[in-house]
Amino acid sequence: MSDAAQPTAAEVRAAAEAVKAALDQHLEAVERRSGDDDPAVYDAFNALAAAAEVYDELLYDRYDEVTPFEIPGAGDSLPPYTGPEEPNALSVLIRRDYAVVEPPRLLAQAQRIADADPDDRDKRTGAVVGSSVHAALGVLFGEYEPDEIASRHQEFGLEEGDSTLWVAAAEELPEAGEWLSAPFDDADPQRVVCRFDISSVFDEDELDEELDDLANNSS
């Protein structure tokens, strides 16, 4: 970064003061909160996260230094829960991403599945897979449950990407067939009871090293 583009020392100082003010506001919101899901606490948390991010960026640009803490941004957390206290029903929303890294393996596995049931050859879409990855995926996901594909993805020439699972509360089950045409359109983050994410951005090795360092320093 050129000197002209660098923030001034005064700008860094102002960002630090903004973090201090945001910390005070967050503490005040926590002290005055009306319940576990008080929106004022959520807003103060987001304001603190935004102020800390600005300060961290300016500190690095000006002094090539970083802060010793990380506050997740607003997009990394769920909004306050507004669903029923005692859910009578729930929806499990799952997304798993895969890259097709070995098309020949995928095609061979799908063709093997199709060949194993010749009596159903005329009924099965894409029973003769040939060189069509589209047909192979149809055969694969028509034969196996998603959880089995997740556990055997390498066998099918797939590579895992990010995945997430949301458990959302509901007052009652919707009418049969009501959401089938658009299954994820009504997903409401404010009704999510719990959420589980898997991503390559979570480096378990780095986390283990940090925990080891903490253990060594405290011994």
Q: Which residues share a beta bridge with 99? A: 159
Please give the structure tokens belonging to residue 161: 């990407």
Planar angle of CA 114, 151, 117, nearest 5 degrees: 15
* Degrees, nearest 5: CA angle 24-30-34: 145
Q: Is the pLDDT of residue 173 over 60?
A: yes
**Structure confidence by residue, pLDDT tens digits, 131-154:** 889 999 999 999 999 989 998 999
Within 8 A by CB and 6+ apart from 170, the residues are 83, 84, 87, 88, 89, 90, 91, 191
- Residues 46, 108, single domain; the answer is no
Residues 71 and 12 in one domain: yes
Give a yes or no: residue 219 inside a domain. Answer: no
Same domain (yes/no): 139, 49:
no
CA distance 52 to 20: 9
**61, 127: one domain:** no
**58 & 123 share domain:** no
Higher pLDDT, 208 or 113: 113
Q: Are 101 and 177 within one domain?
A: yes
Percent residues over pLDDT 90 in the chain:
33
Residue 165 lies in a domain: yes
Question: Could you tell me if residue 211 is inside a domain?
Answer: no
Q: Are residues 62 and 135 in the same domain?
A: no
Residues 43 and 99 placed together within one structural domain of the fold = no
Say whether both 128 and 171 belong to one domain: yes
Q: Report residue 155's pLDDT band, with 50, 70 and 90 as the boundaries.
A: very high
CB 88 within 8 A of CB 151: no
Residue 132 lies inside a defined structural domain of this protein: yes
d(CA 64, CA 69) in angstroms, rounded, equals 16
Q: Same domain, yes or no, for 55 and 117?
A: no
Asked if residue 179 belongs to a domain, the reply is: yes
The answer to whether residues 121 and 73 belong to one domain is: no
Region of residue 126 (phi > 0: left; psi between -120 and 50: alpha; otherwise: beta): left
Assess whether 96 and 198 both reside in one domain.
Answer: yes
With beta carbons less than 8 A apart as the criterion, state whether 42 and 74 touch.
no
| Within-domain flag for 72 | yes
Give domain status of residue 186, yes or no.
Answer: yes
CA atoms within 13 A on the CB side of 16: 12
Query: Into how many domains does the chain fold?
Result: 2
Summary mean pLDDT of the chain: 81
Name the pTM for this structure: 0.54
Confidence of residue 115 (pLDDT cuts 50, 70, 90): confident
Domain assignment present for 209: no
Q: Is 165 exposed, middle or buried (0-12, 13-18, 19+ CB in 10 A)?
A: middle
The model's pLDDT over 55-108, given as tens digits with 9 standing for 90+, comes to 988 998 888 888 876 655 444 556 778 888 888 999 999 999 999 999 999 999
Could you give the CA distance from residue 123 to residue 126 in angstroms, rounded to a whole number?
9
Provide the domain limits for residue 47.
Answer: 3-77
